[in-house]
Amino acid sequence: MSFLEGFVFNMISAVSGLVSVVFVGMAVLKALPGGRRRWGLWRTASAAACLVMIVWIATFFYKKGLLGNFFVLTLVDYLRLIGYACCVSLLFRVKFRKCWSIVLFEECVRECSNVLAFIGFTDRPLVLSIPEERRTYLLLGTVGVLAVFLLLLFLLHKMKVGDAYRQWMEHRNLWSRGMICLSAYPILFYGATQTLMGGGASRNASMGVTLLMVAAALILFHHMGLEEWQRREFAAQELILQQQNAYIKTLEGMQEEVRRFRHDYRNMMSGLYLTAEEGELAEAGRFLQEMTEDFDSQIGGQIRQMGQLSNVCITEVKGLLLAKLAQMQREGTACELEVMRPFQQTRLRTTDLCRCLGVLIDNAMEEVRGQEGARVHIMISSQEGYTTFRVKNRLYHSVDVHRIWQQGYSTKGADRGIGLASYRKILEGYEDVLPATAVQEGYFIQEFKVRERNGK
């Protein structure tokens, strides 16, 4: 086989492998954004160049006969996996960390498919320099492996392994510990195979043992993902209970206000009747206006706030807003919540969104705390392919807008100024988020706008 033939064969294999990674990431793990995308010329060219470079290196080592060496083979395999992760990250604008997780999951399933496809056909490696064995290898490597691969993906999908693995990916602590083990998979796979075959075991027995290792790894991560999913479900149920308690307390407060207002209603109507009977219409109008304003300030504001909160359909975000609203009510800070349209989803991870919103609201509360007429305005707007989150408060201290992002900078003294630095670091991990900061007419305004998948 010439260098060009080997390069073309490896390129076809690499492209099919990349397509497989994308398919697994979108259909099984649901970790990649779907729909039509504009990848951009620079990103597409960079991904193509990365893939060509990896294929050229692999073909070069093959022609030099170095792939028989365990260390070289492992190195080439890692280069291939890193190349896939870089290509997916460039094309889909997703963090390399997530792409690396997708690539490793696909690699484990594909290696299982390879083992199952070849293990029943031959007990020795096929020699690609022999035309007949090369044709057999191509047939098994395409039709046989593809059939087994799709069957395994179907079974994993039915078992909801992909959902559990995605939950595990989204948990940073579990990911950091488990990814070290999973990233060592190529070394363990080839190392175990070489060790067993060097000890006299047959090829099928060696690959069978490594297959069990891969299956054990997938089962382990499936179990870890299920534990994380159950933990989140439990946390979500606790939030729902907290929301229900908050609703009940608010309704009880409104009911008490209505009872008090009803008790005073007759006295107010009697006063209004006497005023109107005496012909003092202006005084009657003023009396009606005061009565309406009193009702609106005591009950109407709470009704509007609960109506706005009902438009927040993400449980964790609603729980955060409920907690902050309750805290501001205890501190005597008025809060104006504006969610004019149902807020159902966003591209930001829920944990990141809650952290960012929490930082902005906490900063606004701290600025107005103890001030006369303390008020915070929170707005969530979903329209025209964008979701905007805005927190606004009156300024009582001078702020250097250019320094607020520095670690440790604060207008409130030492040992502060950590929140906004953390907030900015989180948003820097997203390409489709546009943060903005402004000081207008004595108000400090912080917002970030998220371009959703259907955004133009």
Q: Which of 203-212, 286-295, 374-383 has the highest mean pLDDT?
A: 374-383
Q: Classify residue 173: in a domain, yes or no.
A: yes
Question: 318 and 223, same structural domain?
Answer: no
Residue 139 lies in a domain: yes
Residue 218's Cβ-side half-sphere holds a number of Cα atoms within 13 Å equal to: 25
Residue 244: CB partners within 8 Å, gap ≥ 6?
none
Are 221 and 324 part of one and the same domain? no
Average pLDDT, integer, range 359-371? 90
* Residue 84 placed within a domain: yes
Q: What is the pLDDT of residue 114?
A: 79
- Are residues 210 and 337 located together in one domain of the fold? no
CATH number of the domain at 320, please.
3.30.565.10
Higher pLDDT, 437 or 84: 84
What is the model's pTM? 0.58
Is the domain of 103 the same as that of 224? yes
**To which residue do tokens 């990233």 refer?**
183
Q: Answer whether residue 138 is part of any domain.
A: yes
Both 222 and 351 in one domain: the answer is no
Q: Which residues of 408-420 are buried (b: 16+ CB within 10 A; e: fewer)?
A: ebbbeeeeebebb
Q: Give the range of the structural domain holding residue 331, as residue numbers without chain letter.
A: 314-456
CA–CA distance, 279 with 230 (Å, rounded to integer)? 69
Q: Same structural domain for residues 205 and 347?
A: no
pLDDT at 416 over 50: no
Whether 296 is in a domain gets the answer no
Last residue of a domain, one of 183, 208, 228: 228
- Domain membership of residue 190 (yes or no) is yes
Q: Which residues contact 43 (CB under 8 A, 6 or more apart)?
A: 90, 91, 93
Of 228, 244, 273, the domain-final residue: 228
Tokens of 252: 């009880």
Mean of per-residue pLDDT scores for the chain: 77
Query: For 71-111, where are the E strands, in sequence order?
Result: none
* Predicted confidence (pLDDT) at residue 284 exceeds the cutoff of 90: no
Domain count, the chain: 2
Max mean pLDDT range (39-53, 112-126, 161-175, 285-299): 39-53
The most confident of 13-27, 107-121, 263-277, 418-432, by mean pLDDT: 13-27
Q: How far is CA 33 from CA 215, 271, 283, 384, in A?
A: 28, 65, 63, 19
pLDDT tens track for 146-179: 888 888 888 888 877 777 677 667 665 555 666 7
Identify which of 355, 170, 319 has the alpha carbon closest to the alpha carbon of residue 235. 319
Domain-embedded: residue 235: no
The answer to whether 115 and 211 have CB atoms below 8 angstroms apart is yes
Q: Which tokens belong to 144? A: 């046989």
CA distance to 49, 70, 107, 141, per residue, from 84 (Å): 12, 21, 11, 19
Report which DSSP code applies to 441.
T
Summarised one tens digit per residue, pLDDT across range 253-267 is 667 766 666 666 656
Find the mean pLDDT for residues 12-34.
86
Using the predicted structure, report yes or no on whether residue 33 has a pLDDT greater than 60: yes
Are 79 and 57 within 8 A, CB to CB?
Answer: yes
Model pLDDT for residues 189-204, shown as the tens digit of each residue:
667 666 766 666 666 6
User: What would the pLDDT profile of 63-73 be if each residue is shown by its tens digit?
Assistant: 888 877 878 88
Structural domain ending residue among the three candidates 206, 228, 250: 228
* 261, two tokens: 């207002």
